[in-house]
Amino acid sequence: PITSSDARQASTAGTGNPAPPTANPMDTYKVSSWWKMGAGRESLETDTHACVAQLGAAHSPDNRTQQVTRGLVVCMHGKGWKALREK
């Protein structure tokens, strides 16, 4: 079977452009807020805990510094949440 990595390499083959690097789920971002239509704080906490349980404790958000991992952002996006990244 073709993996997503194979697909990326094939899409850039012959263009002279290197394949984009694979994203690391442990990359960190500073997120100032989370948004989901019709959801509140309890839903955010429930979905965050579910993602951390799925991904592992290393993906626990740091509420003091607002740092989250890419893996957590992807998991939360799958649950309908949008992260507002701080600039």
43-69 pLDDT tens trace: 999 999 999 999 999 999 998 999 999
pLDDT digits (tens, 9 = 90+) for 25-50: 999 999 999 999 999 999 999 999 99
Alpha carbon of residue 47 to chain centroid = 13
Q: What is the dihedral of CA 59, 63, 64, 68, to 10 degrees?
A: 40
Please compute Rg for the chain using Cα positions. 16
Q: Which of 3, 33, 35, 30 is nearest to 19 (CA)?
A: 3
